[in-house]
Structure 1
Amino acid sequence: MAAYFHTDMVLIILAGAVATFLTRIGGYVLITRMKSIPPRLEAALNAVPAAVLTTLVAPAFFTGGPDVQVAMAAALIASLRLSILPMLFVGWCAVMLMRYALGG
């Protein structure tokens, strides 16, 4: 059991939790104290979801194999016409078919 418990790792996890909490609560406190949100801040806040999605998808696309790349491309194309669940199903089918075809 002692081999799985490292004090350094626990401290890193706790520091990350505290930093995440302070960032979230700080943003909430900052915005609730404003009478109105400036247009530049509103534009920055509107860009956050796209930035987060990019940071999650781009590394997987560029480090994944052809199966992952084809699945992501298929899901992207499907997302232009379908809602989220059918789009996820298209991506899942594409990756499974590619893995079957490539023998992986």
Structure 2
Amino acid sequence: MSLDAATLLAIFGMAAFTYLTRIGGPLLLSRVRLSRRGEAALQAVPPAVLMAVIAPTALATGPAETGAAAVTALAALRLPLLACIAIGVGTLLAIRALIG
């Protein structure tokens, strides 16, 4: 495999753009005074994006996955991440074993 100048330029360009998008939000928000409502709205964005990614997969793949996603969501209300992962995987395996 060889790297030519165009490939290296593309890699460094994508890295720079990725870095700028990562620091852009905090830099902009450090200069803006948000109301409580605005802060609450921004805090709701990560869970909303996560649900937008997870929900279609959980609801479209089958009953075992949907059930495991529901049990994992309930476990996430009280338990740490590693426990939720273990519960989700265990529930999925159990449901698949029961329904064949």
User: TM-score if structure 2 supplies the norm length?
Assistant: 0.67
Alignment-derived partner of residue 31 in structure 2: 33
> Which of the residues 67, 71, 74 maps onto 1:70?
67
Q: Distance in 2 between matches of 1:86 and 1:63?
A: 25
Displacement after TM superposition at 1:43 (Å): 2.0
| Structural RMSD (CA) | 3.0
Displacement after TM superposition at 1:66 (Å): 0.8
How many residues align? The count is 95
Displacement after TM superposition at 1:19 (Å): 5.7
Q: Deviations over 1:23-78 (max 9, x none)?
A: 333212212223x3333431221111221221122111221111101111111222
Q: Superposition pairs for residues 37-56 of structure 1, below 5 Å?
A: 37-56=34-53
Unaligned regions of 5+ residues in structure 1, if any? 2-10
Unaligned regions of 5+ residues in structure 2, if any? 2-9
Alignment-derived partner of residue 24 in structure 1: 22
Alignment-derived partner of residue 94 in structure 2: 97
> Structure 1 pair 51/95, CA: closer, same or farther in 2 (3 Å)?
same
Counterpart residue identity of residue 94, structure 1: T
Q: Distance in 2 between matches of 1:62 and 1:39?
A: 34
Q: Distance in 1 between matches of 2:19 and 2:25?
A: 10
Q: Percent identity?
A: 40
